[in-house]
Amino acid sequence: MRKLLLFLLLVSASPGFAHVGSSGVVLQGQAGAYRLLVDVQPPDVIPGTAQVTVYVESGDASRVLARPIYFRSGDEGAPDYDALEPVSGQLGQFQGIVWLMENGSSSVQIKIEGAQGEGEMVVPLVAMSTAERDMPAGLGWTLTALGLLLVILLVTVIGASVSDGMLRAGQVLSPQQKRKRWLNMGIAFVACVLILYGGSSWWDSWAREYRQYMYKPLTATGTVVRQDGQRVFQLKIDTTDSKSKRGANYLSYLVPDHGKMMHLFLVRTPGLDAFAHLHPERIDSTTFQAYLPKLPAGKYLVYGDIFSYSGFTETLTDTIDIPELVEGQAIRRTDPEDTYVVTDPLNEPKNIPLDANVVVCGKPGTRTALLDGSYVVWEGQANQVFAAGKPYQLKFEVFAPDGTAARLQPYLGMAGHAAVVRSDGSVYVHLHPVGTVAMASELSLKNRIADTARVFKRAAPGIFRDSIDRHVAALKKMPDTERENFLMQEMGMEVTADSTTHEGMDHGSSISFPYAFPRAGQYRIFLQVKRNGQVLTGIFDARVEEEGI
């Protein structure tokens, strides 16, 4: 019970955009002939500076530039580039800051110059004010003392200017002159008080407005209902909360990511020993629904990723109680690619009963078997400990049952997916082989940069939503191969006979995910790949400590 309350407190305090508890953006890709890994840490106060680190993994770069591009104003309204400085002693690493002046969906455009010519790369970014900065107590008292001193000096100078300035040498103030001095000093003091009061009121008003426009995550409520003997999960988004500054029309501008309107992840707490990746259907603007697979009963963490046309991504969070399944009832699926697995609880002996959907958890440097008899090896040292905040390549190699390299099929337009969850549920991220960025966001912002309109104009909510619903319905009717090819091409991937590549990155039977664990703790990684038409899930645990410990 205490762990559950801790989770609820952490989730309620964490921003819901992009992911949960992991605000940084890590993206790997090609900028012309250069292969880059970019790590962007956005500010929690806007205006503010984003910390940008660029790792040039291939190519000889001599100069790296960066600038922000906001979705609303696009490339036409973007500022000039700022140069990133080479990091001393780190070959191919550049670091610097980018000023972000507007809330909302934006991107950092990277421009690189070197021996292989020029290249560009766009890193989607959600920039929102999520915190207030308190003035340090010492600074506050110092400024107060200086302000009082200035008031005293100002009042004294004004009093002297209307009395002492009229005296000749050796003269003293007459009673009338003294009264005039005190009168003017009183007037000056009142004027200073009024000025200070006006300034304080203006500051308080500005602070209230700032708090009003601080990011407030959308709230959603998950429930499980019975329909024709089936357990049906429903997630309803609350649009009545004025704090979020978004209404029902906002939800009409959602777009699919990898062909799905929502990616829903359910993880049983506290052991993280049951996992499902579902794709609910949109029933109306605020309601999503999906049949539940054969998950065991218990309390589950809910993470639902949704995506706006502007590139703004959010994760809806909740907890639900899933009741026992009625024995003998045939299980329906909302989407053919909905999956689930059961595994051993975190930090407990591996004593789970093996059945058709049970996998055993692994660690770095070990292998774990998949449901079809193939297995995955997490490349790395046994018992490896990761440092918080440091980017890593989480590399996995998939092998067929006979030990040969497995042939992976595209899964939702990519070589694979992964979900990373901290033991207390306070960190969640949906990873792709290119990083933490949702492909819908990357595509949306690239298209916006190509658009020459200074201010973006959107279609009417109903028209936009209907067009998206028709698009998703058409995708669902496509044969698997045709749909995967369409999704890969839509996301800028090259479709080949044996593998998929994204801007030159060939995965083959191996797959890697660039990621920086945000803070210390225990994490569970749910890796998903597709082989012989079946989505397979491998589960691994990672231990993370603060850097330098």
Task: For 347-382, give the DSSP string.
Answer: TS-S-PPP-TTB---B-TT-EEE-TTS-EEEE-S-T
453, pLDDT greater than 70: no
Question: Is residue 355 over pLDDT 70?
Answer: no
Please name which of 127, 97, 126, 101 lies closest in space to residue 47, comparing C-alpha atoms: 101
Is residue 460 predicted with pLDDT exceeding 70?
yes
pLDDT confidence of residue 323: 93
Amino acid at 519: R
pLDDT exceeds cutoff 90 at 316: yes
- Please, is 116 exposed, middle or buried when counting C-beta atoms within 10 Å of its C-beta (0-12, 13-18, 19+)? middle
**Where residue 361 falls among pLDDT bands split at 50, 70, 90?**
confident
Q: What is the mean pLDDT of residues 521-529?
A: 95
Q: Name the packing angle between helices 137-161 and 175-212 (round to 10°).
A: 150
CA-based torsion, 526, 530, 531, 534: positive or negative? positive
Give Cα separations from 187 to 64, 145, 330, 496 (angstroms). Answer: 58, 22, 86, 83
Tokens at 193, concatenated: 């008080």
Per-residue pLDDT tens digits for 369-406 = 888 889 999 988 878 899 998 889 999 999 999 989 98
Q: What is the pLDDT of residues 69-112, one digit of tens each?
A: 888 777 777 888 999 999 998 889 999 999 988 877 788 899 99
Q: What is residue 492's predicted lDDT score, i.e. its pLDDT?
A: 66
Share of the chain above pLDDT 70, in %: 85
Report helix angle 461-477 to 480-490, nearest 10: 130
Measured CA to CA, the distance from residue 522 to residue 488 in angstroms comes to: 33
Distances in Å between the alpha carbon of 120 and those of 346, 409, 454? 42, 29, 21
4-36 pLDDT, tens digit per residue, is: 333 333 333 344 455 787 777 888 888 999 999
| pLDDT band (50, 70, 90) for residue 500 | very low
| pLDDT mean across residues, the chain | 82
**Contact assessment for residue 516 and residue 26, using Cβ atoms and an 8 Å cutoff:** yes
Percent helix, strand and coil across the chain, each to the nearest 5: 25, 40, 40
Half-sphere exposure of 72 (CA within 13 A, CB side): 7
Burial annotation 485-501 (CB, 10 A radius, 16+ → b, else e):
bbbbebbebeeeeebbb
Please tell me the predicted confidence (pLDDT) of residue 455.
Answer: 64
Q: Is 256 exposed, middle or buried (0-12, 13-18, 19+ CB in 10 A)?
A: buried
User: What is the per-residue pLDDT for 112?
Assistant: 94
> Does the structure show a pLDDT above 60 at 435?
yes
* 272 closest CA partner among 3, 20, 21: 3
* Residue 505's pLDDT band (cuts 50, 70, 90): very low
Give me the domains of the chain, ranges plus CATH numbers: 19-127 (2.60.40.10), 147-165+173-212 (no CATH), 219-545 (no CATH)
Residue 13 pLDDT: 36
Tens digit of each residue's pLDDT (9 = 90 or more) over 235-251:
999 877 655 556 557 88
Closest C-alpha to 42, from 131, 152, 163: 131
